[in-house]
């Protein structure tokens, strides 16, 4: 096994202009997703699993590269 492990975690955020507040993403029961007048993702809690991204019918969830 190698000790050098490069881990790239993709994170996601909500494009609030596209979000229709349908709440489909909340079906993931993900603790990173919150509703505060609009849907937001707490990036500290997002593990980049992509579940919400796959559920969103409005393509309002976008991937961000934390490495940048
Ligand atoms: S990508 Fe996964 S961990 Fe991140 S907000 Fe969506 S469901 Fe939660
Ligand atoms: S599934 Fe997409 S459109 Fe629906 S509330 Fe979540 S981010 Fe917004």
Q: Is residue 4 part of a domain?
A: no
Domain that includes residue 19, residue range:
10-65
Task: Examine residue 52 and state whether it is found in any structural domain, yes or no.
Answer: yes
pLDDT for residue 36 = 96
Residue from 45, 19, 14, 48 nearest 31 by CA:
45
- Cα(35) to centroid of ligand 1, in Å? 14
Task: Please list the pLDDT of the chain residue by residue as tens digits (68 residues).
Answer: 557 777 777 899 999 999 999 999 999 999 999 999 999 999 999 999 999 999 999 999 999 876 55
Q: Taking the CA of residue 59 as centre, how many other CA atoms within 13 Å lie in the half-sphere pointing to its CB?
A: 0
Q: Please work out whether the CB of residue 60 comes within 6 Å of at least one atom of ligand 1.
A: no
CATH of the domain at 51: 3.30.70.20
Q: How many domains does the chain have?
A: 1
pLDDT at position 1, please? 58
Q: How many residues does the chain have?
A: 68
Q: Pick the residue whose CA is nearest to atom 4 on ligand 1.
A: 46
- What are the pocket residues of ligand 2 if the criterion is a CB atom closer than 6 Å to any ligand atom? 14, 19-25, 39, 55-56, 58, 60-61
pLDDT of residue 17: 97
What's the pLDDT score for residue 63?
A: 93
Tell me which ligand sits closest to the C-alpha of residue 12. 1
- Structure tokens, 61: 């969830």
Q: For residue 2, is it within any domain?
A: no
């Amino acid at each position: 096994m190698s000790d050098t492990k490069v881990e790239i975690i993709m994170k996601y955020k909500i494009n609030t202009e596209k979000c229709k507040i349908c709440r489909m993403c909340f079906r993931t029961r993900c603790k990173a997703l919150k509703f505060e007048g609009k849907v937001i993702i707490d990036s500290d809690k997002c593990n980049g699993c992509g579940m919400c991204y796959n559920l969103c019918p409005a393509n309002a969830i976008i991937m961000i590269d934390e490495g940048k």
